[in-house]
């Protein structure tokens, strides 16, 4: 079994495997190239993004700098916005829906290391060779999700449609759809309702108008 297959099965794998290292090297170099571009180099950025990700829908924008670990394990829907310093350590799959907005310094991490220190240092792989091993858990983020600044999403988490995650939160468990959640660890604060509409905030909405769905 290839080490990449082990990742997707959720079992221990060797991140130093030559095939995995080649994937990561390509992704790291592309991330660095993108991060070195200027915002108005739109043609260059447009050409780079499809090479960096497993899937990117229409209307996507990543501010940069950006760091993608494998890149090809991440799939992003339409109208994505990723602000400064987006980091996705996508050993396992990372699936992001449509109309997602990420604030500055958002981090998604899928790998998990053994808790016992000696096991973190080395274990014997399937061939009986001492190796540094870890495993990974996928992350799924729904449609219309807003992750505020400095949010960290841990492996194994699913965030439902329409959620807002407050700044600085560390998300370790699933978050149900249409809720506002925040904290360390992140927890649901309340449901998002019609009363949160900007129509109820005349001092903020000014001369703008809400578009009815």
* pLDDT tens readout for residues 147-196: 999 999 999 999 999 999 999 999 999 999 999 999 999 999 999 999 99
Whether the CB-CB separation of 159 and 32 falls below 8 Å is answered with no
- Per-domain residue ranges of the chain: 3-205
**Consecutive H or E run containing 131:** strand 130-131
**From 2, 73, 113, 132, active-site residue:** 113
Which class is 3-205 in CATH? mainly beta
132 classed as catalytic: no
* Helices assigned H by DSSP within 36-183: 42-52, 117-121
Dihedrals phi, psi of 184, to nearest 5 degrees:
-130, 105
Rounded Cα gap, residues 181 and 184, in angstroms: 10
Q: How confident is the model at residue 102 (pLDDT cuts 50, 70, 90)?
A: very high
pTM score over 0.85:
yes
User: What pLDDT score was predicted for residue 202?
Assistant: 92
* Helices assigned H by DSSP within 3-107: 3-9, 18-35, 42-52
**In 146-172, which positions are buried (b, 16+ CB within 10 angstroms) versus exposed (e)?**
bbbbbbbbbbbbbbbebbbbbeebebe
112-137 pLDDT per residue, tens? 999 999 999 999 999 899 999 999 99
Maximum C-alpha span of the chain: 69
């Amino acid at each position: 079994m290839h080490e990449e297959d082990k990742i997707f099965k959720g079992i221990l794998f060797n991140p130093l495997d030559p095939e995995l290292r080649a994937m990561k090297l390509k992704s790291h170099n592309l991330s660095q190239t993108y991060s070195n571009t200027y915002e108005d180099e739109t043609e260059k950025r447009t050409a780079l993004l499809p090479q960096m990700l497993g899937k990117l829908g229409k209307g996507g924008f990543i501010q940069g700098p950006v760091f993608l670990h494998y890149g090809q394990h991440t799939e992003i829907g339409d109208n994505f916005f990723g602000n400064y310093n987006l980091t996705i350590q996508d050993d396992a799959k990372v699936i992001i829906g449509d109309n997602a907005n990420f604030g500055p310094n958002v981090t998604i991490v899928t790998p998990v290391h053994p808790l016992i220190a000696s096991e973190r240092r080395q274990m014997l792989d399937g061939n009986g060779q001492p190796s540094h091993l870890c495993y990974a858990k996928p992350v799924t983020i729904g449609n219309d999700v807003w992750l505020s600044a400095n949010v960290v999403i841990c492996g194994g988490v699913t965030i439902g449609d329409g959620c807002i995650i407050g700044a600085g939160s560390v998300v370790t468990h699933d978050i149900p759809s249409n809720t506002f959640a925040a904290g360390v660890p992140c927890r649901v604060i309340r449901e998002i309702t019609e009363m949160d509409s900007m129509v109820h905030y005349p001092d903020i909405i000014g001369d703008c108008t809400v578009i009815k769905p």
